[in-house]
Every structure is written in structure tokens, then in C-alpha cells.
Amino acid sequence: MMDILRAPFSEWYPFLFILLAGALPTQIWRWLGAVFAKSLDEESEFLNWVKAIATALVAGLIAKLVVFPSGSLIDVPLWARLSALLLGYGVFFLTRPKIIYGILVGEVVLVSAAFFYL
């Protein structure tokens, strides 16, 4: 991270990091979207490619949160975490477009395993 800033502004560093690495790179897309709302084609090939990259990135993040978790999830075995995700996903495909049942099934599987291992 920004070690130069870390020492003199140690108290404010986390907020600076949040604003510069989190908020600004996020909001810029919304501002650009609001400004270009008229002149850019939402169906353009370039935007399709960009959307695909963004979707794969978020999916990768989701998988990482399940495969390499933090905190109490670490003590739930990998097979149980993956089963919870896959069973929830399966139920979602049966009940789509509603997402609530898939989430409930995934959580029930995870909590059952957690009760056993935690």
C-alpha cells in the first residue's frame, strides 16, 4: 500500500485509501454514465466486451470469497462451502427469477455444516 502516506497520516490513511482506491474509481463510472447518457450506445460491441470483463471479475471475486474465505468460514470445510453454493445455485435455476429460495437453501446447507464443525 502507500507506505509514504502510512506513517505521517496513519490515522487518516484508511479513509484516504477508502476514498482514493474505493470511492473514486467506483463513482467515476457513474459520473461518466450520467454525462454520456445520451451519446454512447449501450448495445455497442465495446461495451459488451467491457461488461463481460466486469462480470467475470465479480464472479471471480465471489468464488474467491467461498474458496479462500476469511474468519469463521475458514473452519467450515471447502466441500461444505462449495456444496452450499452449488445447491443454492441449483435451486435458483429451478425457481428463477426469484433469488430468495436459492439463498435460503445455500444458507441452510452452510449453517448445518457450520453447526457440525464450529
Partner 1 sequence: MGEKAFSYWYWQGVRHLLSIPACILMMSFVGFGGLSAEAGLTPSQTMVLAFTTWALPSAVVVVGAVLNDVPFYATVFAVVLASVRLMPMTMALIPFLKSSQTKTWHLVFASNFIAITAWVFAMRLVPELPREGRFAFFIGFAFTLAIINTCVAGLANYFSASLPPVASAALVFLTPIYFLLSMTAAARIKTEYWAIGAGLVLGPAFHLITPETDLLWCGLLGGSFAYLINLFGKRT
CB of 113 to partner 1, least distance (A): 9
DSSP state string for 25-76: HHHHHHHHHHHSTTTS-TT-HHHHHHHHHHHHHHHHHHHHHHHS--GGGGGS
CB of 17 to partner 1, least distance (A): 7
The owner of cell 457450520 is 114
| Residues with Cβ within 8 Å of residue 90, at least 6 apart in sequence | 102
CB of 9 to partner 1, least distance (A): 14
Cβ neighbours, 10 Å, residue 84: 22
CB of 8 to partner 1, least distance (A): 16
Give the separation between CA 60 and CA 23, rounded to whole angstroms. 21
DSSP state of 18: I
